[in-house]
C-alpha cells in the first residue's frame, strides 16, 4: 500500500481531525526547521516520530489525516522479511490529543494572522503566501539537544546528525518502507562516560562536548522533569536556566523556550531574522555582527510590534525567508547543472 493512497484505500487504519489549511500547512510547518524528525515519505505525506511512535500525516481539504504504526517486539524484528510496520491500535481520543497538543491546535491561528496583519504591513505581504504556519510544541529534551546541534550548521546536516544520534542512542521503534525509526534518546542514554567519544565518532565535532555536557548538567541538576516544569516559569527565568547549560546561547535558549516551553513571546534571532530586522524594518541593531545587545533589541522590537505571541509571528517570517532562500539555492543549482551539461556538450542542441 502506497502512503499517498492510504486514506482512501484503507480508511479503517486512518483517522482525521478537522483542520483547515489556514490553521495548519503541514508542508510549511514540518519543513521549517522547528523539528528535524519528519520527511516527506510520498507527495503530500509526512512520516516521523512523535511521542515515541511513528506517524504518517497528510492533509485533504479541511481535514488532517493520520495513521500510527505499532512498535516491533524482539521476535518481529528477527522474523520480519520486509520492512513494513503494522498500524497500531491506538485509542482515537488519545491520538487526537497528541496531535492537538503537538500542533497546538487550541490556538486560533487565523485570528492571530489578522492581528499581526493589522499591526504590520510587511507581515501582511508575507502572510498571503504563507498561511497556516504555526509553532510546534516539542518534547523539551528532544528540542534542547536538537537545537544544540544547530549552531553553525544547516538543515540537511542537522537532520542527518539527529538521525545518527537517534540510531546510536535511541530505542528502535519500527521499520517502514525500508527505513528504520528510533525514538529520541533518553537523558540517561546521553550521560554515559563514553557518550562524548561516541558523538564525535558520529561527526558531531565540538557539539559532542555540549550534548554530553548538557545531558550531565540536567541529570545532576533539575532533571528531565524539572526541564519540563520550566513551562510554568516566567520566560526570563527559563531562558536564564537554559543559558547556563553547555553550548546554549541566547538563540538556542529562545528556540527551546518557544518550541517546547510555552514561551510564545520568545523570538529566536538568527542571521535570517537579523537581516530581516535591519533591511525590512530598519532596526539599527548591531554592526557587522549580532551582538548580545543587538539580539535583545531586535527581540524587544518584535515583541512590541507583534505582541504576546511574537515568537509565532517570527516563525511565519522565518519560514517565508527560508523557503525563498531554498528556492534561490535550487535555481542556482539548476543553472549550474545546465552550464555543466553545456560545457560537456550534453546540453540542448
- CATH code at position 76: 3.30.310.40
CA distance 345 to 323: 33
Same-domain pairing of 144 and 235:
yes
Same domain, 236 and 334: no
CA 23 to chain centre: 17
Q: Is 267 left (phi over 0), alpha (psi -120 to 50) or beta?
A: beta
Domain identity same for 294 and 258:
no
Q: Say whether both 200 and 302 belong to one domain.
A: no
pTM: 0.87
Residues 144 and 245 in one domain: yes
Residue-level pLDDT, tens digit, the chain, 349 residues: 344 444 443 445 899 999 999 999 999 999 999 999 999 999 999 999 998 899 999 999 899 999 999 776 554 544 444 555 665 666 788 899 999 999 999 999 999 999 999 999 999 999 999 999 999 999 999 999 999 998 878 898 999 999 999 999 999 999 988 899 999 999 999 998 899 999 999 999 999 999 999 999 999 999 999 999 999 999 999 999 999 999 999 999 999 999 999 999 999 998 889 989 998 999 877 677 888 999 999 999 999 999 999 999 999 999 998 888 776 655 554 445 545 445 454 443 2
Shared domain check, 259 and 270: no
| Strand locations in the chain (E) | 15-18, 38-42, 45-50, 53-60, 63-69, 172-176, 179-182
Nearest to 229 by CA among 215, 218, 213: 218
Pick the last residue of a domain from 209, 244, 263. Answer: 263
Task: Evaluate whether 187 touches 141 at the Cβ level (below 8 Å).
Answer: yes
**Grid cell locating 338:** 545546465
Indicate whether 37 and 71 sit together in one domain: yes
Listed residue (65, 68, 53) closest to 26, CA to CA:
65
Give me the CATH number covering residue 280.
1.10.1670.10
Same domain, 22 and 33: yes
Residue span of the structural domain in which 197 resides: 138-263
Is 240 one of the catalytic residues?
A: no
The C-alpha atoms of residue 191 and residue 220 are separated, in whole angstroms, by 10
Residues 147 and 234 in one domain: yes
97 and 154 inside one domain: no
Q: Which residue among 2, 251, 288, 324 is the active-site one?
A: 251
| Nearest in space to 248 (alpha carbons), one of 139, 348, 143, 121 | 143
Which residues are paired to 46 by β-bridges?
Answer: 40, 57
Domain assignment of residue 111, yes or no: no
Whole-number Å distance between alpha carbons of 130 and 226 = 36
- Number of structural domains the chain divides into: 3
Amino acid at each position: 500500500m502506497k502512503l499517498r493512497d492510504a486514506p482512501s484505500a484503507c480508511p479503517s487504519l486512518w483517522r482525521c481531525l478537522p483542520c483547515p489549511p489556514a490553521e495548519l500547512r503541514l508542508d510549511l510547518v514540518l519543513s521549517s526547521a522547528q523539528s528535524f524528525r519528519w520527511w516527506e515519505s510520498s507527495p503530500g505525506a509526512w512520516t516521523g516520530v512523535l511521542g515515541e511512535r511513528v506517524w504518517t500525516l497528510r492533509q485533504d481539504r479541511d481535514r488532517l489525516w493520520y495513521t500510527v504504526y505499532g512498535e516491533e517486539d524482539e521476535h518481529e524484528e528477527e522474523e520480519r522479511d520486509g520492512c513494513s510496520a503494522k498500524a497500531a491500535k491506538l485509542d482515537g481520543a488519545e491520538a487526537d490529543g497528541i496531535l492537538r497538543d503537538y500542533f497546538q491546535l487550541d490556538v486560533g491561528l487565523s485570528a492571530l494572522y489578522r492581528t499581526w496583519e493589522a499591526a504590520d504591513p510587511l507581515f501582511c505581504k508575507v502572510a498571503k503566501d504563507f498561511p497556516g504556519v504555526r509553532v510546534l510544541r516539542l518534547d523539551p529534551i528532544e528540542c534542547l539537544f536538537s537545537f544544540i546541534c544547530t549552531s553553525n550548521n544547516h538543515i540537511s546536516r542537522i537532520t542527518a546528525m539527529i538521525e545518527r544520534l537517534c540510531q546510536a542512542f535511541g530505542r528502535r521503534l519500527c521499520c517502514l518502507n525500508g527505513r528504520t525509526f528510533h525514538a529520541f534518546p533518553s537523558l540517561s542514554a546521553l550521560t554515559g562516560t563514553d557518550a562524548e567519544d561516541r558523538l564525535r565518532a558520529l561527526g558531531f565535532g565540538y557539539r559532542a562536548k555540549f550534548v554530553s555536557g548538557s545531558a550531565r548538567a540536567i541529570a545532576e541538576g533539575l532533571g528531565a522533569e524539572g526541564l519540563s516544569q520550566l513551562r510554568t516559569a516566567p520566560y526570563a527565568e527559563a531562558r536564564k536556566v537554559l543559558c547556563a547549560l553547555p553550548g546554549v546561547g541566547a538563540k538556542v535558549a529562545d528556540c527551546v523556550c518557544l518550541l517546547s516551553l510555552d514561551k510564545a513571546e520568545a523570538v529566536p534571532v538568527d542571521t535570517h531574522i537579523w537581516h530581516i530586522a535591519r533591511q525590512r524594518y530598519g532596526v539599527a541593531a548591531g554592526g557587522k555582527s549580532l551582538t548580545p545587545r543587538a539580539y535583545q533589541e531586535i527581540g524587544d522590537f518584535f515583541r512590541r510590534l507583534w505582541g504576546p505571541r511574537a515568537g509565532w509571528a517570527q516563525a511565519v517570517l522565518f519560514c517565508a525567508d527560508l523557503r525563498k532562500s531554498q528556492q534561490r539555492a535550487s535555481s542556482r543549482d539548476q543553472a549550474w547543472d545546465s552550464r555543466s551539461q553545456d560545457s560537456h556538450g550534453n546540453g540542448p542542441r
